[in-house]
Structure 1
Amino acid sequence: MVSVPSNPGIKAVPVPVEADAGVAKATASRAAVFVPGGPAEIDHLNPRLRAMLRAARYHGVELDPNDFKGASVTAADLSEWAGNAGMWSRAVRIRWSHLLRFHDAGPVVLLLSDGGAVILAGASAERNVVLLKSVDAPEAEGPVAIDELRLSQVWTGEAVLLRAARSYIPADAPFTLKWLAELVRLEGRPLRDIGIASVTLSVLTILPPLIVMTVVNKVLQFNSMSTLVLLSAIIGVVFAYETLLGHARRLIINVVGARLDTKLQLHVFGRLLRLPLDYFERHPAGETMYHLAQIYRIREFMTGKLLSTLLDLITLCVLVPVMFYVNSTLAWIVVACAVVIMLIILAFLKPLRGRYKQVVEAETWKSAAIGETVVGIKTVKALGLEPQRKALWDDRVAEAGKARLAFGRLANWPQTLVTPIERVMVLGTMLIGAYLAMNDSSGYMVGGLFAFMMISQRVAQPLVGLARLVEDYEEVGAAIGEVASVLNRPSETSSNAVGLRPKLRGRITFSDLSFSYTGTKTPALDRVSFDVPAGTMFGIVGRSGSGKSTIARLLQGINRDYTGFLKLDGVDLKEINLRHLRRGLGVVLQDNFLFRGSIRDNIIAGRSGLTLSDAMRAAHLAGAEEFIERMPNGYDTYIEEGSPNLSGGQKQRLAIARALIHDPTILILDEATSALDPESEAVVNANLMRIASGRTMIIVSHRLASLTECDQILVMDQGKVLDVAPHATLLERCSVYRQLWSQQNRHLDGRGARPTVVPPRLI
């Protein structure tokens, strides 16, 4: 017998010799050495991450350590990591008896109290042992049998369950009424408490009318003071209990509403981020924001009218039988009025639905107009387009106003027809009840009338609310359709759950590739073929519309519906996991967006684990450090929205630093220097060789001077490849390249000089 080595605070326990290797390795934790964005060496990972990697491989899934975002390696963080990779995963706390059931369920990751982890490979209920395997054990080594006593010394009960594929998760389901109902169903426990409280309150609601009936019929008729005192005490107790229970119910409703609101907003934003770039390019920002804003109407309906109406239904189930017990004649009048109200509302639903669609369309165009104006406000101001934009806005507002007015006029009719019926439900029953009381010889009808009036007031409003709930649902149904028109589009990251994660080295191969944008017949790329060796600088030039930026888009995986082949290191790009692909890419565009925050935050761009020194290194490589250090607060200088305190060249150099921060294997500069002033362009070009060191660099540019150092330059024209060669060779044999060079360098040499005009000789 030997002792298991463990961290301080964990008591060493005797373990059989054959179990020593398994548990000793399992409890020995290493410090995590992890560089986000870079290649993670398995041996240097936290043992809990290594355990998850091995368990996932059993199911045929290769987890990427760079995807792990947890600050501390907890069970919840590990479960989220696996879930983001497309696996089904749950972080649980289980007992020994549950472990014995995992005899053939696949590997389960057990988290040890010292920060380590082991893999549960099986269990034997007959022997009362579980089979554990160390994360450091070779694949061929078998598991070790451990009993409950020994495991309890190093395990607190935390575990992560894994399965290859998620059978159903709400985040991937279409946004429909069924999805919303499932979201509400998940709040079953608090809703059950709300239901119990509502039933109790409904029962308590019955007591005051019955007590009033007793006071009128017994106390007033027989002058019974003792009965009055007793009834007063009962009323006091009922009121106090009703107040406390109502307070508790409202608190629970607020909690449920907040939880549903949070889940809805998280779901909407998550799905929005997963939409492809093509969607945002084809739909105005204002239109998208208007559609998504309808989620608040859905939320208010679910947590407001719908929930209150459902609670009122519980009250109706209790009060309606009592109402019939008190006076069936008056009760039938109330029910008949409610049915008539329902029929009136149903009759107007179809025309109201048509008018509301017109309102939605008009409001969508109105939001698109204001969104487009806000996004393009610099152009509006620069070109003096305020009158034109105001005229457009006036038209959009007028159209929306007309649509809402037409909808309001039509919606006013059911309200007009319903109002007198509502009055009959209250005042009509009172008058009829008074007539019945006058003809009642027993004298008990008066107290019953008082009781019925109190109950009917509590019943009439829910009945009318139930009828109007159908009308409200029509508007909410339209709102669900608007939100679904955005969220239910094919997700760009649907392939993030699957796909290969090869180690990118930088070789790019286009083979007979053709691509056309949606809605166009002319191909943007027509049977393009070329090869970029790993670690080379590769330039792409051509006239406007030749397909240069399309090549960059395809490399980023923005568009995947091409024909032919695009391979990275011999692997078809369509088969590569999108998140893994883009982590290996650095992209700098012609117009880059900087977020609110400090310069350091923009360079690091939310990559956990990176520090100021990393930001400084990237800024130095991009030639941005010289202007950053001149700023008042250096790297802590705050950037406002739109970056008004930075020049175009400064913004571009920060974008290059942001692209370099995670040391990408492939760096794409898509017209990245076109917006730079000559000084900034010279700084970036001077650093190109250092930037390109150890990586493949794709430079898309119309400025040929920035491509002269490239190993190869691809010349494109009308979507086709004209030539691929170094700068000097292209000048000799490619007429298009030579023409472009001459146009841009007339002032440098005579090669592109204007030809001398020889005057004609007179004969």
Structure 2
Amino acid sequence: MDPDDHALGAPDPDGYSRETSGEDTAESSSGQTARPSPAMIRLRAVIAAAHFHGLELDVRDFAAEPGEASPSPATLARWLNDQGAVAKGMNIKWRYLIRMSNSPPIVLMFRDGSAAIMVNADAERGVVWLRDPLTGESQPPVPVDEMRLTQIWTGDILLIKRRKDQSEADAPINVGWLAKMVLREKKSLRDIAFASMTLSILQIFPPLIVMQVIDRVVNNRSMATLVSIVAIVLVLSFYEVLLSYGRRELTLVLTTRIDTRLSLHIFSRLLALPLEYFERQQAGNIIGRVMAIYKVRDFMTGRLMSTFLDMFTLVVILPFLFYLSSTLAWMTVAASGVIGLIIVVFMGPMARVFTKLIHAEMERNSVMYETVAGIRTIKTLALEPTRKQDWDVRTADVVRWKLAAGRMGNWPSTLTMPLEMFINRGIILVGAYLVLTNASNVGIGALVAFMMLGGRVAAPLTGLAKLLDDLNEVTTSLGEAGSVLNQPTETKALTTGMRPRIKGALSFIDVNFCYPGSTTKALNDVCFEIPAGTMLGLVGRSGSGKSTITRLLQGVSRSYTGYLKLDGVDLREINLTHLRRSFGVVLQDNFLFRGTIRENITAGRPGLTIDDVVRAARLAGAEEFIERMPAGYETWIEEGSTNISGGQRQRLAIARAVISDPKLMILDEATSALDPESEALVNANLERIGQGRTMVIVSHRLSSLVNCDQIMVMERGEVADIGPHEVLLERCAIYRTLWMQQNRHTSSRGAAKNSAAPLIAEED
């Protein structure tokens, strides 16, 4: 048998791809399949435990960590959490395990890398009941005591349950969502709060010491008291430095964890958005809106965190200020309150100006993104002056609104400055007046102590007021990010649904579809049916609905009416990830990532070997040009695929599609960018590529569809006719017209030869 005819990365008989965890099975001497590898047994145990909670998982969705012979509990927990479960790995002792009698199935990790499922426990008898994940529920569980279990058990377990409430990954991104994310770090927040409270208490002592120095040491000239105070100051200073370092370290860890979790959630949410949304929006606009959330991140980990920590100082020191002088303390609080009132008054106008500024910045970012993405077209058409003019206009808008925001923010700063000056300078003058007139019991030492502490109280009060000012920009940024990230996602479709074994039989029954915002149907009562293994060609004029059919097959749009069935199962009931991984799709304009040719071909199945890559490249007709390259399959592809031709890029995309051995392939104008020689090579391989799989081929070049089993002619969203090439030439006027338009040069050349022959004969 030709090696090209082998199944590339085909699933094993149990439905798990071999490359997922290495050599999963081995043939015994009798020719029967031996037991799977320990890593695969561990994965099956996890899948079986998840199935108990109604979660259907696919082992092909699991991505192993580099260097792990068998997946660790932490790796499995991350995978399960991404798939819509709540999972936690932990290490426990036998005496705790034996008490889990009423728990759902628990996965126990074994020393050889495998696992078993614990379904029950009996503390009185001292046994736990284990089930082999390979047998499922067909065999009764086996009782195991402590001595036998501890010989093979690592002590690690994996707890799994179904997520019932709305998770962070699905909840709307707003202030509450961010607050929950911060509050998840309860331990760090508790430690920071304790350190801040202790530091606030320690900050009371220096002013008290100064007061004692002035009132007792200086006035009484007591050297012994001074020595004692110096010793106390040194001890307190040491603890203050130590606690300050610890709090900064804890704060750094907290902000880093929040930043990491925020980045992971944002990117996951962005990937979960449907393709239709990206097609309707500017890429630069989307990026600008999403990146606005990092302003919220900076606010949460910057001004908000520092103000939150300063509030502990306020809580501790403010009562002490009232103890020293209630008159001066009330003046400080009143001045800070007026500052807050001024800022609140300006919040509304500032919010409107900041909204305009953010929109202007996003428009400018869009121009930058389009310029970089389309730089080849700009250089080719000499569009630099036009793009520069667009950039100048957008920059002028940004500058205008930034100037307006600066001027608007200058007013509250100017109005609050006299109040801040009064807190920092005026209070001491008022205090001095009270001392001179004996209007209160404030002494010189108490006045100095009040001034030392008063600044520390005024700072958080003023910071709290200015915090409201920052809320304008933060609220606007959060709204812009939410306008993208709160769009309906495909998360449910990607993590739930059926996972049937795909064979490739297709049936459309009265399918109607209309694109959002359009009043014309892209598909109108489309009905056809093809068995598995059929090569179906789609032809028709532009806008007839050919690509729309391929979009529906890929699950890009699910808002159609009627029934679209794959192997008798409605497409909307199939898990979207499973569906797309079962397809091989080659588009008219394919994107290749920066990386080697081998990495691009194995992008969807990174566990495949170089032999699989070579077979896929051979099927796609790419082997000959790859081997001519200096580094072969390790040749680096630059961003935008600038170092390879369009035809070479297309053949690599075909190799990437066939390497996973899909049972259904979609080629949407896949050969349009190929030169005649490459197109002929790919078309010659299409029959070999199509063996054992269904193929849906969209092409304007009818000559490439002649060998298709069926050709469907589309006209204005409807099926005009369907049949083999010869039949359509006879009975379908649309197909015959398209064929004659593309092949009239052949007919005219043949007619010219027939008319020239008699003339030559006459001359003879």
User: How does the TM-score come out when normalised to structure 2?
Assistant: 0.91
CA, structure 1 residues 93+377, in 2 after alignment: closer, same or farther (shift >3 Å)? same
Change in 2 beyond 3 A, CA 1:117/1:182? same
Cα distance, 1:76 vs. partner? 2.1
Contact 1:88 1:166 in 2 (8 A): no
The Cα of 1:366 is off from its aligned counterpart by 2.0
Contact 2:56 2:496 in 1 (8 A): no
Give the aligned partner of residue 349 of structure 1: 347
- Shift of residue 33, structure 1, vs aligned partner: 7.6
C-alpha distance in structure 2 between counterparts of 1:417 and 1:499, whole Å: 61
Residue 13 of structure 2 is aligned to residue 34 of structure 1: no
Q: How far apart, in 2, do the equivalents of 1:751 and 1:206 lie?
A: 102
Instruction: Give the counterpart letter for 2:435 in structure 1.
Output: A
1:423 aligns with 2:421: yes
Residue 709 of structure 1 pairs with residue 740 of structure 2: no
Q: Indicate the residue corresponding to 2:593 in structure 1.
A: 595
Instruction: After TM superposition, give the deviation of residue 563 of structure 1 in Å.
Output: 0.5
Contact 1:506-1:535 within 8 A present in 2 as well: yes
Cα distance, 1:145 vs. partner? 2.4
Confirm or deny: 8 A CA contact 1:628 1:634 kept in the other structure. Answer: yes
CA drift at 1:431: 0.9
C-alpha displacement of 1:275:
0.7
- Bigger shift: residues 462-471 or 124-133: 124-133
Offset at 1:36? 4.3
SS of equivalent residue, structure 1 residue 642: helix
Instruction: Choose from 657, 661, 667 the match for 1:659.
Output: 657
Aligned partners of 2:119 and 2:129 also within 8 Å: yes
Query: Which residue is 1:68 aligned to?
Result: 62
The answer to which of 264-273 and 470-479 deviates more is 470-479
Residue 112 of structure 1 is matched in structure 2 by 110
Find the partner of 1:563 among 548, 561, 564.
561
Partner-residue secondary structure (3-state), 1:747: helix
Q: 1:397-455 CA distances to partner (integer Å, 9 max, x unpaired)?
A: 22222222222222211111001100001111011112122234999711111111111
Number of the residue aligned with 1:585: 583
Q: Does 1:495 align with 2:493?
A: yes
Tell me the distance in 2 between the aligned counterparts of 1:556 and 1:442.
Answer: 82
Pair 1:56 & 2:50 matched: yes
1:645 aligned partner, one-letter code: N
Aligned-partner residue type, residue 671 of structure 1: E
Aligned to 2:226: 228
For 1:35 and 1:352, locate their aligned partners in 2 and report how far apart those are by CA, in whole Å: 57
Q: Contact 1:538 / 1:710 at 8 angstroms: preserved in 2?
A: yes
Q: Residues 618-697 of structure 1: matches in 2 within 5 Å?
A: 618-697=616-695
Gaps of 5+ in 2: 1-13, 26-32, 755-764
Instruction: Report the AA paired with residue 336 of structure 1.
Output: A
Cα distance between partner residues in 2 of 1:559 and 1:444: 76
Letter in 2 for 1:218: R
Match of 1:44 among 28, 31, 36: 36
Moved more, 623-632 or 381-390: 381-390
Is the Cα contact below 8 Å between 1:38 and 1:66 reproduced in 2? no
Secondary structure, counterpart of 2:639 in structure 1 = coil
What is the deviation of 1:37?
12
Residue aligning to 2:736 = 738
Structure 2 Cα separation of the partners of residues 318 and 53 of structure 1? 54
Aligned equivalent of 2:518 = 520
Cross-structure match for 1:17: none
C-alpha distance in structure 2 between counterparts of 1:349 and 1:753, whole Å: 82
Give 1:310's aligned residue.
308
Contact persistence 2:613–2:659 (CA under 8 A): yes
Task: Give the SS at the match of 2:87.
Answer: strand
CA gap of 1:690–1:454, structure 2 versus 1, over 3 A, is same
1:557 counterpart letter in structure 2: G
Partner Cα separation in structure 2 for residue 344 and residue 54 of structure 1 = 62
CA separation in 2, counterparts of 1:634 and 1:142? 54
Residue 488 (structure 2) pairs with residue 475 (structure 1): no
1:615 corresponds to which letter in structure 2?
Answer: V
Letter in 2 for 1:507: A
Q: Secondary structure at the match of 1:73?
A: coil
**Superimposed CA distance per residue, residues 562-607 of structure 1 (whole angstroms, 9 cap, x where no aligned partner):** 0111110000000000000001001111111111111111111152
Aligned runs of 1:274-289 on 2, under 5 Å? 274-289=272-287
Q: 1:101: how far off?
A: 4.0
C-alpha spacing 1:442/1:301, structure 2 compared with 1 (3 Å): closer
Cα distance in 1 for residues equivalent to 2:238 and 2:357? 48
| In structure 2, distance between residues paired with 1:470 and 1:424 | 21
TM-score by length of 1: 0.91
Amino acid of the structure 1 residue aligned with 2:216: K
Alignment partners' CA distance in 2, 1:61 and 1:662: 25
Contact 1:217 1:444 in 2 (8 A): no
Deviation, structure 1 residue 327: 1.7
Distance 1:752 1:348, change over 3 A: farther
Q: Tell me which residue corresponds to 1:12.
A: none
- TM-superposed deviation, 1:39: 14
What do the CA deviations read for 1:483-515 (whole angstroms, capped 9, x no partner)?
111111111232122100000001111111010
Superposed CA RMSD? 2.3
Deviation at 1:236, TM superposition (A): 1.5
* Contact 2:532 2:694 survives alignment (8 Å): yes
Q: Give the Cα–Cα distance (whole angstroms) in 2 for the partners of residues 527 and 753 of structure 1.
A: 42
The residue number in structure 2 matching 1:402 is 400
Amino acid in structure 1 at the alignment position of 2:621 = G
Letter in 2 for 1:292: V
Q: Distance in 2 between matches of 1:199 and 1:529?
A: 72
Letter in 2 for 1:547: G
Cα distance, 1:138 vs structure 2: 5.8
Q: CA deviation at 1:197?
A: 1.0
Q: SS of the counterpart of 1:663? A: coil
